[in-house]
């Protein structure tokens, strides 16, 4: 994410989206006191939407590389 972005779709915590060979989707989310395995298609759809927003909000590959070089130079 850009350093100037104060809010983004991933601030609620980490998530993993899993697709089986069937195909069927599952999700796993974590918090400080535990994790939750999700199989409800409606909930998974919400998380897929958040993931799509995070991808659209994230830096491009070139911008990510530039940021890493900038941070490395600051050390």
Q: What is the pLDDT of residues 31-46, one digit of tens each?
A: 888 899 999 999 999 9
pLDDT tens for each residue of 7-30? 766 667 788 999 999 999 999 998
The answer to the question of residue 44 being in a domain is yes
Between CA 56 and CA 59 the distance in angstroms is 8
pLDDT tens for each residue of 46-75? 999 999 988 888 889 999 999 899 888 877
Structure tokens at 24: 């069927």
Inter-residue contact 37 to 26 (CB < 8 Å): yes
The answer to the question of residue 6 being in a domain is no
The answer to the question of residue 39 being in a domain is yes
What value does the CA radius of gyration of the chain take, rounded to a whole number of Å?
16
Question: How many CB atoms are closer than 10 A to CB 27?
Answer: 20
Q: Which residues constitute the domain of residue 40?
A: 15-74
Please list the helix, strand and coil fractions of the chain in percent, rounded to the nearest 5, in that order.
Answer: 40, 25, 35
> For the chain, what is the domain count?
1
The answer to the question of residue 43 being in a domain is yes
The answer to the question of residue 64 being in a domain is yes
């Amino acid at each position: 994410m850009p350093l100037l972005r104060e809010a983004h779709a991933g601030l609620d915590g980490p998530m993993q989206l899993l697709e089986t060979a069937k195909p069927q989707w599952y999700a796993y989310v974590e918090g400080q006191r535990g994790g939750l395995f999700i199989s409800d298609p409606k909930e998974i759809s919400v998380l897929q939407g958040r993931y799509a927003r995070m991808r659209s909000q994230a830096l491009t590959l070139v911008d990510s590389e530039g940021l890493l070089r900038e941070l490395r130079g600051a050390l």
